[in-house]
A and B are shown apart, each in its own frame.
Chain A
Amino acid sequence: MIALTLAVLLAVDRPVIDLSGGKVQAYPLAMARPLGVQDAGVAVQSVLSADFERSGLFKLLDPASFLAKPTEGLTGIDYTKWQAVGAQGLVKMSCDATAEVKCDMRLYDVTHGVELLHGTYAAPRAGMRQIAHRFGDDVVKYFTREPGIFQTRIAYVRETEAGKQIVVADQDGANPQAVTGASINLLPAWSPDGHTLAFTSFRDGLGAHIFSVDAVTRQIKPLVLMGDFATGAVYAPDGLRFLFSASLDDNTDVYVSQADGSAGRRLTDARGIDISASWSPDGKRIAFVSERAGSPQIYTMAADGSDVRRLTFQGNYNQEPAWSPKGDLIAFSGRDEHRVFDLYTVATDSGKVTRLTQNQGTNEKPSWAPNGRYILFSSTRAGKRQLWETQPDGSNQRAVTSERLGASDPAWGPLPSSK
């Protein structure tokens, strides 16, 4: 029997065509008119629509084209009417609002006519946006099997007349709250638990030093007061250590320190500047910028400073590496032959460099979303420097902030589950 099966298999000689590179297209999703209390429902739906639009995952269908009755409930859905307008997924909600807003949120598979997700989400009226973010994250997780980032927060530097202050906001730029005053505060970096931000400040008048601020109480503590130039703190994935750069004896090097700023130890000692360190997601390697070969290029090294390898060989000014949460890419900004900085990624295994921005002002300071699906960066493409986001292939670029005098130095916070 085995021989017979083998014989049959061998006898059938079919040509084989390999297909790859299908067009990646957003999933067509309809969002039905909310039921129940309209002002709350419309407000939640508006935030949810914006989340889905920004995600690049979904193509929201025009409500004007919908054929189903606006009064259609959460059950007894006529899926043929939704199929007819091209929907593959359908979101419905019914909200009730008293002191708090409570929404029954549902996701349906229109193609197969089944309910996929169903939950009740509640929040105080002032925090109504969180209902949309939480349901949005659940929908993203259902489809992608990866956590969504709608509940995450970002930190950045806001330009003010009095200086530069560190601001914390929702990932979509909403609810910006200053957590420092406005001396000169730069380069915020989140601790992995999302409670603390390290940042560089000239606040003590003795040069650039590293401080930390509690994201809730806004209490500020000094972390590194070494020499007259210590900057660019970035926490390890385990939160127990952080990297920074400091200048001692006319040489700028990368250092590592305990989370409280103690036991600082130098990791690099090459001639020329070593700066802008970034951890790999497993905490075993570090990407950094070094001028040891004559021009700033991206290098990696083991967490103890050994095994230094050069990663970029194209361009003559590459800086600000940010290691992706998936570990396969390092985003950086590089200066091209027109002396303009743009965003690029370099593959950590092959060294292949891919350009993400081009002919759109100056683009710098990449910071990855914790699920690796988006990169936040600063750009001057619309005049004042503001924060923008892109997908790692350079698609779906959108503005995030609209600060009056500008915004820079973005840092994307951790997922809420690790808060």
Chain B
Amino acid sequence: MTESLPPPSVLGLQPRTPLAPGIVLAVLLHVVVFGAALVLPKFFDRAPPLRKPIIAKLVALGKPRDPHLLPRKESPPPAAAASPVAVPSSKPSSAPAPRKREPTRQELMQRALARAAGKTEPKTEEPDPERAGSATGSPQGTAATAEEGDAYFTAVHDAILENYVVPSVISERERLYLSASVLAWIGANGQILKHEFEKKSGNAFFDQALELAIQRTKLPPPPAEIAKSLRDTGVVLNFKP
């Protein structure tokens, strides 16, 4: 008669599977994936390194302002010079005198609407004789100082900025720390294919304004060398008021 063995206690020691090989394998796997992620992209088609866009302003013509004087408000560029008035000449001229341009239908309509609304036509603003700028600047300059600018991303920056409107109901104090990031994918024709928030600002009015700005923006087609990257990977737009 053989005695049957009692069933093993659940509290008893179980034979243990060695863990070390598994841990080593996991670590190796992570190292391989991590290394591959760092190395492999170098062998594939990548966009060239991009320079940060810099906004260029046309330097105004003028004298640099004495730093000891109180500042002046930046003045708008002077209005375009009026076309020279033709002086009557006794000499016969072979070329016919240039005719004064007739106002377009749209201009006539705008004038009529302005008269109907009791508005006078806008006065031409006198150029500020004390406009600060550079001796080698342009009469149409927009700033007293300027920086260098370049690249497609400057065009993207400018196009979005054109439509970037911050609602004035957002307090100045809040504007100091508001920021949001939007990821946008740009097609070969410059169309923004899609966009999504990477980080919302926490202010619904500000986020709504950013959505509007992106929806309204028309971008130029990107250069061929970065078109694929912009379509597949996208670009990060960091907004601050």
Which residues of A come within 8 Å of B, CB atoms?
3-4, 6-8, 10-27, 56-58, 111, 140, 143-146, 313-315, 318, 326, 334, 336-337, 342, 344, 353-355, 358, 372-373, 392, 394
Contact = CB atoms under 8 A, between A and B. Distances in A.
Given A10-B38, A19-B164, A22-B166, A4 B30 contact: yes
Contact of A314 (B68, B156, B160, B240): B68
A314 B69 contact: yes
Given A4-B33, A111-B208, A315-B70, A144 B161 contact: no
Contact of A22 (B38, B161, B169, B174): B161
Contacts of B47: 13, 15
Interface stretch (B16-24, B140-148, B229-237): B229-237
Given A23-B165, A314-B71, A315-B69, A16 B236 contact: yes
A186 to B, nearest CB: 26
> Binding site of B, secondary structure by majority: helix, strand, loop or mixed?
mixed
28 contacts: A3-B34, A7-B36, A8-B37, A10-B38, A12-B233, A14-B233, A14-B235, A15-B50, A15-B236, A16-B238, A17-B53, A22-B164, A24-B241, A25-B165, A25-B167, A25-B168, A26-B167, A27-B167, A27-B169, A27-B205, A57-B168, A143-B170, A145-B174, A146-B173, A318-B70, A336-B70, A336-B72, A373-B172
Contacts of A355: 70-73
B233 A13 contact: yes
B209 A22 contact: yes
Given A7-B34, A57-B169, 10 more contacts: A13-B46, A15-B47, A15-B235, A19-B238, A24-B165, A27-B169, A342-B70, A355-B73, A358-B73, A373-B172
Contacts of B164: 19, 21-23
A392 B168 CA distance: 13
Interface in B150-204: 153, 156-157, 160-161, 164-174, 183
Contacts of A140: 169
Contacts of B160: 17, 19
B234 A14 contact: yes
Given A20-B240, A111-B208, A358-B72, A145 B171 contact: yes
A8 to B, nearest CB: 7
A326 B175 CA distance: 13
Contacts of B52: 16, 18
B39 to A, nearest CB: 10
B41 interface: yes
A144 B53 contact: no
Interface in B66-85: 67-73
User: Among the interface residues B70, B172, B236, which one has the most CB atoms of the partner chain A within 10 A?
Assistant: B70
A17 to B, nearest CB: 5
A143 B172 CA distance: 12
A149 to B, nearest CB: 13
Contacts of A27: 167-169, 205
Given A58-B169, A314-B71, A17 B233 contact: no
Given A22-B209, A314-B67, A337-B69, A17 B171 contact: no
A144 B171 CA distance: 5
